[in-house]
């Protein structure tokens, strides 16, 4: 069963600030790899410390930070950014 991708308000703002080609690359990754997967955990990595319970997807030099909601089959994107500064709060 496919997963649904949803974006938090902050994640949408993060995405809009990126170059158009990077936006397209991130959206394609989420739509083509994560959404149709039986388990989106196969492509990501669990985070610890401040971001405990969240998952990270690597798309080139950019990171997509998500919360996986198993009961609704939703991947909620909470942050998007360059790897050097996405983990700053």
Query: Tens digits of per-residue pLDDT, 32-55?
Result: 999 999 999 999 999 999 999 999
Query: What DSSP designation does 70 have?
Result: T
Q: Is the pLDDT of residue 76 over 80?
A: yes
- Reported pTM: 0.93
CA 74 to chain centre: 11
- Give the whole-angstrom CA distance, residue 86 versus residue 27: 17
- Give the pLDDT band of residue 89 (cuts 50, 70, 90): low
- Residues 6+ positions from 87 with CB-CB distance below 8 Å: 50, 51, 63
**φ, ψ (nearest 5 deg) of residue 68:** -95, 125
Separation of alpha carbons 25 and 19, rounded Å: 10
Give the mean model confidence (pLDDT) for residues 54-75.
97
Give residue 19's pLDDT: 97
What is the model's pLDDT at position 88? 84
Please report, for the chain, the start and end positions of each structural domain, with discontinuous segments joined by +: 4-82
Tell the CATH superfamily of the 4-82 domain. Answer: RelE-like (3.30.2310.20)
């Amino acid at each position: 069963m496919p997963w649904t991708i949803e974006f938090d308000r902050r994640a949408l703002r993060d995405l809009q600030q990126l170059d158009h080609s990077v936006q397209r690359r991130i959206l394609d990754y989420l739509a083509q790899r994560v959404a149709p997967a039986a388990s989106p955990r196969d492509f990501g990595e669990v985070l610890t410390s401040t971001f405990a319970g969240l998952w990270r997807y690597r798309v080139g030099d950019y990171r997509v930070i998500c919360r996986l909601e198993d009961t609704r089959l939703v991947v909620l994107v909470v942050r998007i950014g360059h790897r050097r500064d996405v983990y700053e709060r």
